[in-house]
Structure 1
Amino acid sequence: MKRKYKVLIIFLVLLVLLFLGGLFLLHTRTYQPLNETLKETESTSQYTVKETNDALIFLPLNNKGQQDTSVIFYQGGLVEEKSYSTIAAKLATQGYPVYLVKHALNLAVTDKNKAEAVIADEKIGDYVIGGHSLGGVMASRFAHAATTKQLKGVFLLASYPDENGRLDNLPLSVISIIGSNDGVVDKEAYQDGKKYLPESTLFYTIEGGNHAGFGDYGDQEGDNPGSISAEQQQEETVNQLVEWLTSLEEN
């Protein structure tokens, strides 16, 4: 009996060590925001930044004029949400409230419905949801199951929907943006995913952009070098998103 007890204790200890080892490995493989990007997380004369347990939030100040549509953003796989602070800050400067959602282990797949808590807690009205890479896939799944009329559209950055997140039969506006030098996105899955998108989907390619250029976390394993800077890629991304958001508010 004592021997069985010792074996059980050893087994539990090994399980704990394996779990901790897995967490450590995930942490070492997680992409962190570059130091200069963290400056964007500080409030300015154009927007304020606050942090909750569920999101990093960028709120435009009244002197710019706040838009009616909020932007909910899901991070790419193993990318810390603060890595997208530049895009969030640029959108906030244009008057759009932005919510960079936090996911466990920096993986949106852990909770595709995390946006629900943010929407409820922050009393968000009309909104669009989307994300980068894996985040876009999970945002599409959230949108597929959403029943509220407050959801106006979906944006995909180097991303695509799968069958569980199909949007082709929903009355939503969708924009898909990808870099021409992207070396990470599964090209076959990206093309296949188009059948799950509405016919009205806007497709835009950033010439010279790559996969990691949508965020500020440095180079990504398997990606191709961009022939434009991440700053240029993000500026072009924001321009396209603002044009799309403007069209949503006009309709």
Structure 2
Amino acid sequence: MNRALRWTAWVFAVIMLIAVVFLVWANIVMQGTRSAALQVWRDDRVAVRDAGDAVVMTPTGTANGAGIVFIPGAKVDPYAYMATFRQVVASGTTVVITKPTLHLAFFDTRPLSTFESHAPDVRSWAVGGHSLGGVRACQLAPDADGLLLLGSYCANDISKSYISVLSVSGSRDGLSTPEKVDAARHLLPSNAMTVEVQGANHADFGAYGAQPGDRTATITPAEARSQITAAVERWVSALPAGSSLR
């Protein structure tokens, strides 16, 4: 009996230790670059507010009726994507950047409606994500009018879907490599738009510094962001902003 109790206590202790280590690891996030975030806060074309479960970016000028619920990559600070969407929001699109449970998208089971409620005036919603956030976005795609993948790819098959899809990748991405993106292309609709930014790496889709396992970019973050922004703006302009497809 004593041996069984000791064994049970050891097993419980090991499980608790693993849980504590995991929680500590999950909460060590890749912080957003302060200077890049400050530029967005100071941009009078963009309004930013923290809604608790998300960072909400809205245009201060004329809105185009479109919105994007964007899911961060694993352990990346949501504020790191403010610079990525600065110009997109300034051009009229609302962007809601989620705060995933434990900073990991696959633990977040909340529906899109949770985040859409932060911008009730938006008429057409797309879902998007970076890296692991993009994998989660693919799972939510049936509930959206569009899907935006930044340095990511789907693990589930949405090839029969009628939603508008844009996949932007980087030729120097060391995590969502060009080979991985190409291998998952058949899971997207045949008319999905794909853009490969030459010289961009995985971390170029946010502003949070270098990431372990990534390759070295051959263009500047500003150059990469400009091309990513241009691709997203072209895609957003084709979204059904006047009425939802759902």
TM bracket (short chain): 0.7 to 0.9
Matches within 5 A, 1:30-179: 30-40=29-39, 42=41, 44-61=43-60, 64-123=61-120, 124-144=122-142, 146=143, 151-162=144-155, 164=156, 166-179=157-170
The SS at the match of 1:248 is: coil
CA RMSD, Structure 1 to Structure 2 (Å)? 2.3
153-162 vs 41-50, which moves further: 41-50
Offset, 1:11 = 5.5
If the length of structure 1 is used for normalisation, what is the TM-score? 0.86
May I ask how many residue pairs the two structures share in their alignment? 241
Rounded Cα–Cα distance in structure 2 between residues aligned with 1:41 and 1:89: 6
Alignment equivalent of 1:209, drawn from 200, 215, 224: 200
Structure 1: which 5+ residue stretches go unaligned?
none
Identical columns (%): 25
For residues 169 and 229 of structure 2, the distance between their equivalents in structure 1, rounded to whole angstroms, comes to 13
* Structure with bigger RCO (C-alpha 8 Å, 6+ apart): 2
Contact 2:65 2:124 in 1 (8 A): yes
Deviations 1:171-211 (A, max 9, x none): 11111111111111155442221111111111111111111
Distance of 2:231 and 2:192 partners within structure 1? 13
Query: Any gaps of 5 or more consecutive residues in structure 2?
Result: none
CA pair 33-121 structure 1, distance change in 2 beyond 3 A: closer
CA shift in 2, pair 1:118/1:43, >3 Å: farther
Decide which structure has greater helix share.
1
What is the aligned counterpart of 1:241 among 212, 232, 237? 232
SS in structure 2 opposite 1:203? strand
Q: C-alpha displacement at 1:139, in angstroms?
A: 0.3
Confirm whether residue 227 of structure 1 aligns to residue 224 of structure 2.
Answer: no
Q: Give the distance between the partners of 1:192 and 1:213, measured in 2 at CA.
A: 22
CA distance in 1, matches of 2:188, 2:94: 26
